[in-house]
């Protein structure tokens, strides 16, 4: 059976044109006429998408219509073929249009910029002219439509097919077979809903509701400049889930004789949607036709009743939103892991901050992320690289205000025991049964026969057995601090002027110990094996060397990242030389220098590894007791925290998505060396006021803070402590 279709267009008077001034949006500048007369672009947000560089370059839209005027300035450079297929005769002919309807539609899809009074939704796309209407009656048979579909489907470059036409009933088996084949060939078909003001779309738009359409057919209705359904437009009806509306009243576009015309109809709304589909296809050629339609449906602006309704269907086409991410952005990785882009954060340490900061500023962490449709979007992962946390006055005061129970005992043989427990009374001072106690720190040193000793510690006192830390906490080896909240198990042996120490620091062990005394937060931390040899030169001087093998979990050199920018493990071997000299009974001069090599640093996302990393740290200090008052304590230190001197990180950066939908990675070597050196001068003086109270002053000056040249940090504060 043959059905006859009428091109659905309503001609509107062509008014005089005048100049106007609007900001230019495209790389090829719009002229003043285009800036003034193309409200459709703004109504659907196409101008915003074009301003971000989405212009449809590479996409081809087949338009089944009355033909095109080949010499029109809007279209003469936009054709995907030098000839036009005439479906009614089955022959290729010159590109012409004796009606003007097809020329108008083509200009809405892909009219070029800077050439006249209008321009297309996808001005850099190409259009393939397929004539399906006879020149004598301007009607089209279902047979001609089927032939036109076959021609478009056979063209591998075509991704979108636009049909601004419709009939009152189904179009017969020949056409339906051709349409099914088009769907199966992964083409998106955009069809006018019709101009009879009906409750349902006309055919072939109404085929969109069929299961075999696979969501690849989009029915398009028309709205006016106020986003109200046009009086002539067929409504969504039973095709609501596959129905969009777009501007379709008084739309300016190219016309016969090199002219321009305002026309109205769902014929005009349809190429607006087809142009938007071309933008998507050009930007992300890996998208399937069903995905393109789904994006247009999901990003549409809801109109009418909330949600999908029988008038507006999915709502108004929103090109700007369609070209933006849908759902949660994630990081493409070489494995099966899914990592959220927003959670891709690296909290650096002082050792790693300045090098990574410089690399991020140089664009080394720029790549792409993907949305729910596997579309790639440019992103700078360097924004997730955060500066290290600083030990400021607020943290010091907060620590000073903690209610602690401290118990210290010294045995006759020199063994020492110390514990600090934080007490919380959430329900008031007298609700003793509700007290929560958390072990903050503990230390036990057992003096054994034959110069042997056993040293146990947990919390902030772990590691104080080694090096200069027992002399003053500011002189502790910073590499041992990489174990984070570790527990200490160590042994010592003294023979004459020589002393040997060996032990382990373990984060998991500390969590278990703390859990015996109350709620404790289990941190994976790390583990360190420590060996130390000290030699007493005389009664006043001591020198020593320390070897440590530190294994970090979920971090490297103190930096801690999420899955996207994290390293799952790292191993650092360090050699430290230290020494002290007692200037007087009350004052000791001490110094230490550490060098280290970090290896086996591996990750499974953006950061793949850290290689050849060398680092160093030093400290020089004066420590005094009882200098001015009985029981006072003074420390003055000049130090440089851990600093990477050389090394690189291997970054596997996703930079593109192939037409097959697979991520493309670029392997980059990111330098990690610090760009400067921090020097920190710190003063800490504490004096007792009574048996239960004390007052202390602290001050610190950091030059090139966190090894960033020119960064300065000055802190000072006073702390009053009282025991109750």
Query: Could you list the active site residues?
Result: 65, 101, 267
Residues 549, 551, 552, 557: is their CA dihedral positive or negative? positive
SS3 content of the chain, % helix, strand, coil (to 5): 20, 40, 40
Could you tell me whether strands 679-688 and 663-671 are parallel, antiparallel, or unpaired per DSSP bridges?
Answer: unpaired
Question: What does R_g of the chain's alpha carbons equal in angstroms?
Answer: 38
CA distances from 54 to 158, 297, 581 (A): 18, 19, 70
Give the C-alpha separation, 317 to 46, whole Å: 10
Residue 500, judged by CB atoms within 10 A of its CB (0-12, 13-18, 19+), counts as middle
CA–CA dist 644, 349 (Å, integer)? 10
Q: DSSP for 294-354, please give it.
A: HHHHHTSBP-SSSSSBTTTBT-B--HHHHTS--S--EE--SSS--EEGGG--EE--HHHHH
Q: Which residues share a beta bridge with 624?
A: 587, 634
DSSP 559: B
Tokens standing for 713?
A: 């940090």
**Residue 204, preceding peptide bond in cis (omega within 30° of 0):** yes
Whether the CB-CB separation of 651 and 364 falls below 8 Å is answered with: yes
The b/e string for 635-674 (b: 16+ C-beta within 10 A; e otherwise) is bbbebbbbbbbebbbbbbbbeebeeebebebeebebbbbb
Cα 574 to Cα 588: distance, rounded to the nearest angstrom: 25
Instruction: Tell me the sheet residues that pair with 359.
Output: none
């Amino acid at each position: 059976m043959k059905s006859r279709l009428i091109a659905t267009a309503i001609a509107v008077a062509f008014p005089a044109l005048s100049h106007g001034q609007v900001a230019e949006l495209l790389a090829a500048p719009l002229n003043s006429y285009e800036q003034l007369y193309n409200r459709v672009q703004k109504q659907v947000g196409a101008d915003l998408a074009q301003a971000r560089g989405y212009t449809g370059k590479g996409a081809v839209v087949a338009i089944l219509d009355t033909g095109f005027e080949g010499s029109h300035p809007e279209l003469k450079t936009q054709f995907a073929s030098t000839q036009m297929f005439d479906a009614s005769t089955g022959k290729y002919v010159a590109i012409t249009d004796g009606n003007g309807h097809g020329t108008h539609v083509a200009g809405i899809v892909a009219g070029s910029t800077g050439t006249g009074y209008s321009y297309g939704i996808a001005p850099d796309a190409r259009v393939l002219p397929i004539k399906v209407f006879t020149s004598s009656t301007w009607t089209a048979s279902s047979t001609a439509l089927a032939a036109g579909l076959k021609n478009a489907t056979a063209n591998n470059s075509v991704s979108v097919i636009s049909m601004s036409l419709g009939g009152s009933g189904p179009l017969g088996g020949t056409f339906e077979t051709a349409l099914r084949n088009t769907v199966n060939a992964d083409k998106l078909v955009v069809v006018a809903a019709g101009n009879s003001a009906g409750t349902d779309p006309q055919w072939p738009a109404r085929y969109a509701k069929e299961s075999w359409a696979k969501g690849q057919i989009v029915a398009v209705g028309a709205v006016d400049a106020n986003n109200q359904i046009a009086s002539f437009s067929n409504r969504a009806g039973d095709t609501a889930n596959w129905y969009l509306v777009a501007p379709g009243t008084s739309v300016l576009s190219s016309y016969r004789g090199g002219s321009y015309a305002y026309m109205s109809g769902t014929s005009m709304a349809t190429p607006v949607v087809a142009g938007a589909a071309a933008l998507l296809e050009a930007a992300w050629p890996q998208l399937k036709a069903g995905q393109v339609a789904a994006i247009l449906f999901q990003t549409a602006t809801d109109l009418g009743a909330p949600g999908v309704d029988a008038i507006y269907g999915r709502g108004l086409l929103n090109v700007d939103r369609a070209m933006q991410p849908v759902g949660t952005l994630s990081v493409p990785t070489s494995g099966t892991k899914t990592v959220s882009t927003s959670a891709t954060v690296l909290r650096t340490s002082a050792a790693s901050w300045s090098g990574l900061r410089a690399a991020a500023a140089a664009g080394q962490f720029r790549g792409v992320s993907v949305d729910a449709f596997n579309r790639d979007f440019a992103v700078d992962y360097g924004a997730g690289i955060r500066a290290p946390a600083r030990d400021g006055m607020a943290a010091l005061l907060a620590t000073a205000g903690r209610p602690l129970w401290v118990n210290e005992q010294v045995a006759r043989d020199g063994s020492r025991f110390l514990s600090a427990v934080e007490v919380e009374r959430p329900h008031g001072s007298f609700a003793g049964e509700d007290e929560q106690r958390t072990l903050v720190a503990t230390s036990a040193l057992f003096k054994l026969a034959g110069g042997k000793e056993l040293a146990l510690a947990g919390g902030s006192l772990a590691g104080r057995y080694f090096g200069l830390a027992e002399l003053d906490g500011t002189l502790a080896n910073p590499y041992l601090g990489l174990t984070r909240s570790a527990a200490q198990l160590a042994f010592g042996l003294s023979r004459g002027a020589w002393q040997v120490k060996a032990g382990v620091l373990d984060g998991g062990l500390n969590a278990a110990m703390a859990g015996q005394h109350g709620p404790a937060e289990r941190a994976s931390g790390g583990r360190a094996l420590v060996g130390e040899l000290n030699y007493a030169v005389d009664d006043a001087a001591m020198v020593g060397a320390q070897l440590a093998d530190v294994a970090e979990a979920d971090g490297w050199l103190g930096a801690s990242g999420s899955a996207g920018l994290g390293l799952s493990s790292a191993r650092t071997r360090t050699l430290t030389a230290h020494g002290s000299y007692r200037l007087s009974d009350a004052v000791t001069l001490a110094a230490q220098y550490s060098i280290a090599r970090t290896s086996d640093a591996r990750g499974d996302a953006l950061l793949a590894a850290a290689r050849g990393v060398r680092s160093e740290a030093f400290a020089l200090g004066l420590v005094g007791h009882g200098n001015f008052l009985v029981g006072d304590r003074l420390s003055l230190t000049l130090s440089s925290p851990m600093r990477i001197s050389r090394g690189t990180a291997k970054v596997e950066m996703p930079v593109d998505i192939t037409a097959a939908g697979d991520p493309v990675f670029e392997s980059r070597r990111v330098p990690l060396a610090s760009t400067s050196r921090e020097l920190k001068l710190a003063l800490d003086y504490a004096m007792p006021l009574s048996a239960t109270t004390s007052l202390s002053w602290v001050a610190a000056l950091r030059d090139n803070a966190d090894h960033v040249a020119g960064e300065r940090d000055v802190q000072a504060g006073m702390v009053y402590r009282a025991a109750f």
